[in-house]
Structure 1
Amino acid sequence: MVSRRRVLVGLLGLSLVRGQGLRVEEVVGGLEVPWALAFFPDGSFLVSERPGRIRRVRGGKATVYAELPVYHQGESGLLGLAPHPHFPQEPYLYAYRTVAEGGLRNQVVRLRHQGEKGILERVILDGIPARAHGLHSGGRLAFGPDGMLYVTTGEAYERELAQDLSSLGGKILRITPEGKPAPGNPFLDRPGTRPEVYSYGHRNPQGLAWHPGTGELFSSEHGPSGELGFGHDEVNVIVPGGNYGWPRVVGRGNDPRYRDPLYFWPEGFPPGNLAFWRGGLYVAGLRGQALLRLSLEGERGNWRVVRVDTALSGYGRLREVQVGPDGALYVTTSNRDGRGQVRPNDDKVLRLR
């Protein structure tokens, strides 16, 4: 829980998180639905805003780095962001966006870093399903330890797409930095399937994080709130070719055909991103309006959640959580997304130390 005692340090707001030994600093505010962060080697970082802007933040000030045309409705627009793993030697930035021109769909695009700006270079993956009013777009981008780009996609409110291996919807995809299906993907040689697919049976996956010890991929996913009652948001351990059950299974189905979640919220906690930090797995909550710390026990292929603590609350809806190059944990609020209560100076990027 966040203490009410606050002091100012320069231009940064500072608060203490009780019981966690954490300090919370407000790095920058006044953003419009920030979705993802991408860090540069010089200590600055980029933040995507869902209406189509990418801002660069240095010294607590945000300037426009790029503007992309997007279809900004509901949950869609400019979403995930990821720098090339060998940046700046490979001066590229990747973004996930929704577009309407030529037919409504989601894309992964590549920008080239040029001085103070990012220049849209080309589309590297097209045809990811999207829906009018922007529901279930997925949208997280992250490079894995293998140097491949992982992409989460929603099923665009068409449930059966999650089980359809000929569709890019309701999946986690794995592609090369050039946008080709990654070597070793589980469905590369199967007729009638998309070779980019890494796992399937997902409803609306929102987060990606790799275990720092084992290299296993963990993902957060929105459950069917409002369709089958509130809840069943999930954290999953992702394996190549795994079927995670939607819409056949909600929560734990105990069906050997589908992989059960590592953890789920029966009451509902639609998660944003997730990140490993200080020995725990931190999950940002949107409707849950909290940052949770999941304590894990076990070993590769056999994990269990043994404790859940609230690490941060009092800031409203939280979407992005990511470890910065300075070792701090960065979190974004999402109170201006049409579903939150807007607070002074929203939306914000927070830094936890």
Structure 2
Amino acid sequence: MDRTKAARSAPGAGTSSTYLEAPRRNRGSSVRSTAPRRTGAVMSFTLHATTARRPGPGAHRPARGGLAAQLAALVVASLAAALVAWPPVPARAAIGARRVAGGLDRPVAFTFDPRGRIWYLEKDTGEVRILRPGAGDRRFFLVPGVNGEGERGTLGIALHPRYPDRPFIYVYATREVGGGLRNQILRLTDLGGRGGRMRVLFSAPASSSPYHNGGRILFGLDGMLYAVIGDAHDPANAQQLGDRRGKVLRMTPSGGVPPDNPLGDRLAYAFGIRNSFGLAFDPRTGALWETENGPECNDELNLILPGENYGWGPSETCAGEGPANTNRDGSSPELPVLWWEVPVAPTGIAFCDGCRLGARSEGALFFGAANTGDVRRVVLNAARDGAIGQRVVYSHPNPVLSVEVGPDGRIYFSDFGGIFALVRRSEPGRTGRPGLRRMTGVHGPRVGVR
């Protein structure tokens, strides 16, 4: 998340300021970047929305009718977003948070196993740890040579979809290897409760600056391992198909190239990516969604389509009209579903599918916003390839890092010191700040068709 004038004139360059560097919100000039605009006496944020060209990979494709029907639906969605998506702020928030575990050391990524245990990473130490809520945690494995400066560190974790029958744990980490820095995907083996047999499945050079490393990994319903890797602080990498940086990657569980990858004999699944902290599959469609951090503008929520270009590259600038000003490299780049002119630093993503947060939340996309320290809910359209509104549903005192779905269907998130579950306010054990901040529609939303 670059916040310097140098980054404005040359995206991806300059000195970055990132939420991963210190356990506090609104670092440096981020305070200015995230300040809401004022229109008269009304505070407002700008919400921008577009619709995707088609569903994501493996999606169920519902019948959509003719062009006239689609346009009519768009008009209805636009009016609904403009007129009813932002009602007055209620006296009490409907959603709070319950602390599951505290006293942790920067649990930047976590996941669950079938027994309900939480596997989490300590960003700076390289430790992979197993947490049993209410019963403490222990070290599973120490990844050697981890460099935790800035956005480096142990950054992503996933379990094999057939764990524990296939006892493999996958970790994305920035490591010091042979006198240089590498971003790597490692496979560990669970040897009776302890990790061992570390194998490197993927390795790419990390930037000499500690930024734009990406790091989220997860398995798809197709059994393939997906990962997002940042541009290593060089926008040109994102447009070069021969370079694995600035990409969403897709590989077999053993690190090979799947024969049906969309860009030939490459791990690349999509390209033109700047820096991402969130990946998630929509359980209703199989589509892959991604959050992306912009320079001084245009943080994004993207629907990732196989083989597509998401436009980040050397010619990007915050000058001009968004979101095309930061999505214009290459031929016909995809535009984001949502973007924010004032950066919010979106992080992890999760979908509500029985999350016990009420009817309005069912089927919605939730993501963390590090700059503002909150969890937001995005309502998707009927085709689930676009957004019709968003709101802040929970305000947290610290940056929100990873957001995941637990085996109980609840949505969980982490900050620099703990892991929390989102709950309805009627449930016991709530923590965090009360109140609710909504996005008001004074400046929009602007709904675009592409």
Instruction: State the Cα distance separating 1:20 from its structure 2 match.
Output: 5.6
How far apart in 1 are the matches of 2:304 and 2:298?
17
- Whether contact under 8 Å (2:378, 2:391) holds in the other structure is yes
Deviations 1:291-310 (A, max 9, x none): 1001111315xx33222111
Q: State the match for 1:45 in structure 2.
A: 118
Larger CA deviation: 311-320 vs 250-259: 250-259
Structure 1 pair 349–120 and aligned structure 2 pair: CA distance change class (3 A): farther
The aligned amino acid for 1:114 is L
Instruction: State the Cα distance separating 1:147 from its structure 2 match.
Output: 0.6
Counterpart of 1:150 (choices 216, 226, 230) is 226
Aligned pair 1:202/2:273, yes or no?
yes
Aligned pair 1:321/2:403, yes or no?
yes
- Whether contact under 8 Å (1:154, 1:170) holds in the other structure is yes
Greater RCO, CA 8 A, separation 6+: 2
How far apart in 2 are the matches of 1:298 and 1:326?
26
- Whether contact under 8 Å (1:268, 1:288) holds in the other structure is no
How far apart in 2 are the matches of 1:249 and 1:236?
17
Q: State the match for 2:422 in structure 1.
A: 352
How far apart in 2 are the matches of 1:144 and 1:20?
34
SS for the counterpart of 1:205 is coil
How far apart in 2 are the matches of 1:123 and 1:231?
35
- Whether contact under 8 Å (2:95, 2:394) holds in the other structure is no
- Whether contact under 8 Å (1:207, 1:221) holds in the other structure is yes
Structure 2 spans left out of the alignment, 5+ residues: 1-89, 353-361, 424-450
Instruction: State the Cα distance separating 1:19 from its structure 2 match.
Output: 5.5
How far apart in 1 are the matches of 2:109 and 2:195?
16
How far apart in 2 are the matches of 1:136 and 1:288?
20
How far apart in 1 are the matches of 2:137 and 2:92?
32
How far apart in 2 are the matches of 1:305 and 1:198?
23
Structure 1 pair 315–183 and aligned structure 2 pair: CA distance change class (3 A): farther
Aligned pair 1:308/2:374, yes or no?
no
The aligned amino acid for 1:196 is L
The aligned amino acid for 1:165 is L
For normalisation by structure 2, the TM-score amounts to 0.67
How far apart in 2 are the matches of 1:234 and 1:169?
18
How far apart in 2 are the matches of 1:332 and 1:35?
7
Aligned pair 1:299/2:375, yes or no?
no
SS for the counterpart of 1:160 is helix
Structure 1 pair 85–71 and aligned structure 2 pair: CA distance change class (3 A): same
Alignment of 1:121-160 (within 5 A): 121-126=198-203, 128-160=204-236
Structure 1 pair 304–187 and aligned structure 2 pair: CA distance change class (3 A): closer
Q: State the match for 2:184 in structure 1.
A: 107
Deviations 1:239-293 (A, max 9, x none): 1111000024564228661000000111001111111113211011111211100
Q: State the match for 2:302 in structure 1.
A: 236
Aligned residue pair count: 312
Structure with greater helix percent: 2
Deviations 1:130-151 (A, max 9, x none): 1134210000000011110001
Q: Which has the larger radius of gyration?
A: 2
SS for the counterpart of 1:298 is coil
Alignment of 1:46-61 (within 5 A): 46-51=119-124, 52-60=126-134, 61=136
- Whether contact under 8 Å (1:233, 1:268) holds in the other structure is yes
The aligned amino acid for 1:188 is G
How far apart in 2 are the matches of 1:265 and 1:290?
15
How far apart in 1 are the matches of 2:128 and 2:105?
11
Instruction: State the Cα distance separating 1:40 from its structure 2 match.
Output: 1.4
SS for the counterpart of 2:401 is strand
How far apart in 2 are the matches of 1:304 and 1:174?
23
How far apart in 2 are the matches of 1:66 and 1:311?
36
The aligned amino acid for 1:351 is A
- Whether contact under 8 Å (1:31, 1:348) holds in the other structure is yes
The aligned amino acid for 1:174 is R
Alignment of 1:252-271 (within 5 A): 252-253=323-324, 257-271=332-346
Q: State the match for 1:218 in structure 2.
A: 289
Counterpart of 2:105 (choices 32, 36, 40) is 32
- Whether contact under 8 Å (1:85, 1:147) holds in the other structure is yes
Counting aligned pairs with the same residue, the percent is: 37
The aligned amino acid for 2:308 is G
Deviations 1:299-333 (A, max 9, x none): 15xx3322211121133100110110011111001
Larger CA deviation: 269-278 vs 157-166: 269-278
Instruction: State the Cα distance separating 1:198 from its structure 2 match.
Output: 0.2
For normalisation by structure 1, the TM-score amounts to 0.84
SS for the counterpart of 1:161 is helix
How far apart in 1 are the matches of 2:149 and 2:240?
25
Aligned pair 1:82/2:148, yes or no?
no
Structure 1 pair 281–203 and aligned structure 2 pair: CA distance change class (3 A): same
Structure with greater strand percent: 1
Structure 1 pair 217–20 and aligned structure 2 pair: CA distance change class (3 A): farther
